[in-house]
Amino acid sequence: MQTANRLPELRAAVDSLRGARGEVALVPTMGALHEGHLSLVREARRRAPVVVVSIFVNPTQFGPNEDLAAYPRQIEEDARLLRAEGVDLLWAPPTDEVYPEGFATKVSVGGLSERLCGASRPGHFDGVATVVAKLFNQVRPDWAVFGEKDWQQLAVIRRMARDLDLSQPSAERILGVPIVREADGLAMSSRNRYLSTDDRQRAAALPRLMRDAAAAIAQGAPVTETVDRLSQGLLGEGFARVDYAEIADATTLQPLGAVGSAPARLFVAARIGGTRLIDNVAIENG
């Protein structure tokens, strides 16, 4: 596996790999890799002969009181995992390569970015859209692969690609990969490692109560009452706060008071022991 830290090296390496082997798939990450990330890498490998993974802890998507400084960084271990997956190129730029002196541009996807996580993390999706637009322009991949755990992020990025007529990759070639879960159902996340042993055990209530609520709604239970019961259940299981628990249209993320024929999902963000966990599940009706 080659590693590039500066843009000219990246461009030279991508050009040469593309020339020798063909299409390129990019997996953007912030490192601290786990099985969820590796499932993205494997999907990228199925799509294209050249796989590039980026590791960049993007400061602009963290709010002032968030965990930027504490965010886990383990580049050596990450590189080892990626090498074992047969990744061709690791793009690991320093902050000044991505945000040089005088950097002043922001990509902002209206509407979609303001709901759900956007409401409790103002500016977060502007940071995500800006850095992903840059990563796309830097690597110019034919495919890009993201996790469905960050469902809203995926929706924002696809909207951005459509709205800006991006072609590398086009919106159709921005792929979502299903959530990878621990044995007790907790969605894998780099932030799970912040959980104490006790909170880690309690955290399994999140996917369990979500699954129950989604199944009840699919069978006709009223949305508002069921989602309220889910929030109360989480607080009863030791969660400190529920940022949101909502049924929304899977594409537009508009809140739904009842499920119809359009795909709907249950979205939750909740805090336990200072760690914010997010998850989403489909409402499988019919």
Does residue 132 interact with ligand PAF by CB under 6 A?
Answer: yes
- Indicate whether 138 belongs to the interface with ligand PAF (CB under 6 A): no
* Phi, psi of 174, deg, nearest 5: -100, 110
Member of 131, 234, 256, 272 binding ligand PAF (CB under 6 A): 131
One residue of 58, 189, 226, 280 binding ligand PAF per CB under 6 A: 58
**Is 231 within 8 Å of 249 (Cβ atoms)?**
no
When the beta carbons of 59 and 185 are compared against ligand PAF, the nearer one is: 59
177 binds ligand PAF (CB under 6 A): no
Q: How far is the CB of 142 from ligand PAF (least distance, A)?
A: 18
Q: Which of 88, 126, 142, 150 binds ligand PAF (CB under 6 A)?
A: 150
Closest separation in Å from C-beta 78 to ligand PAF: 12
Beta carbon nearer to ligand PAF, 128 or 180: 128
Q: Which residue, 29 or 226, is less far from ligand PAF as judged by CB? A: 29
How many residues sit close enough to ligand PAF to count as binding (CB under 6 A)? 10
- Shortest distance, CB of residue 71 to ligand PAF, whole angstroms? 10
DSSP character for 261?
S
Which of 10, 17, 25, 37 is an active site residue?
A: 37
Binding piece for ligand PAF, criterion CB under 6 A, among 94-102, 128-136, 173-181, 218-226: 128-136
Q: Based on the residue annotation, tell me whether 124 is a catalytic residue of this protein.
A: no
Print the SS3 string covering 85-137: CCCCEEECCCHHHHCCCCCCCCCCCCCHHHCCHHHHCCCHHHHHHHHHHHHHH
Could you give the CA distance from residue 150 to residue 174 in angstroms, rounded to a whole number?
13
Backbone angles phi, psi at 7, to 5 degrees: -60, -45
Q: What minimum distance in Å lies between the beta carbon of 31 and ligand PAF? A: 8
* Residue 117 in the binding site for ligand PAF (CB under 6 A): no
The identity of residue 118, as a single letter, is G
217-223 contacts at long range (C-beta below 8 A, 24 or more positions apart): 217/247, 217/259, 217/266, 217/283, 217/285, 218/259, 218/283, 218/284, 218/285, 222/258, 223/247, 223/256, 223/257, 223/258, 223/259
Structure tokens at 134: 């840059």
- Does 148 help bind ligand PAF (rule: CB under 6 A)? no
Q: Which stretches within the chain are classed as H helix?
A: 7-21, 35-47, 75-84, 95-98, 117-120, 124-139, 151-163, 197-203, 205-218, 223-236
Should residue 169 be labelled a site residue for ligand PAF when binding is judged by CB under 6 A? no
Report the alpha-carbon distance of residue 125 to residue 140 in Å, rounded. Answer: 21
Task: Establish if 40 lies at the interface with ligand PAF (CB under 6 A).
Answer: no
Q: Which residues are catalytic?
A: 37
**Interacting residue ranges for ligand PAF, rule: CB under 6 A:** 28-30, 58, 61, 128, 131-132, 150, 153
